Amino acid sequence: MLSFRFSIFVHPETKAEFLKENSFSEKNQALVEAVSAPGWELLAKQKGRRFIKTHLPFSLLPPDLFTAGCKVIYVARNPKDVAVSFFHLNRLIRTQGYLGDFPKFWDYFERNLQSWTPYWSHIQEGWERRNSENVLFMFYEQMNK
């Protein structure tokens, strides 16, 4: 499976810092290199069927996704669960550095003022494609039943 979510956010200076911090381990350095490789380069090298995991909305994916025979599984999450999880990620991961409380975070989240947003239009795009022949739209909570 190929994931596009990491390579988008690994700035060269951040990558250099991570490599330096992991100079004691070739394995860790290889992991830093792997997650910082541009996803499109990895995708171009793959042959045959591919499983591509992305957090990108449909509007940022190739338009022929819906006509080329691809199968798409769109998983949406309850906004409250997303916000709480995202709040903790932003508090605990140093590259995010959020220092505020949850009510302020929710305000930013609700108004799409956080990184990795807009949330609401992303979900709307998925919902509008839910009846497409090659799209399975489901909620994360349905997967746990």
Rounded CA gap, 3 and 9, in Å? 12
Rounded CA gap, 116 and 7, in Å? 13
Q: Residue 138 — pLDDT band, cuts 50, 70, 90?
A: very high
The answer to whether residue 106 scores a pLDDT higher than 70 is yes
Using DSSP's 3-state secondary structure scheme, residue 142 falls into helix
pTM: 0.70
How confident is the prediction for the chain on average, in pLDDT?
85
Cβ-based neighbours of 69, under 8 Å, separated by 6 or more: 134
Q: Write the pLDDT tens digit of every residue in 4-62.
A: 555 555 788 888 988 999 999 999 898 888 878 777 777 777 787 777 888 889 999 88
More confident position, 97 or 2: 97
- CATH number (3.40.50.300, 1.10.3720.10, 3.30.1360.10, 2.40.30.10) of 55-145 reads 3.40.50.300
Active site residue 55: yes
Domains in the chain: boundaries = 1-54, 55-145
Rounded CA gap, 101 and 87, in Å? 9
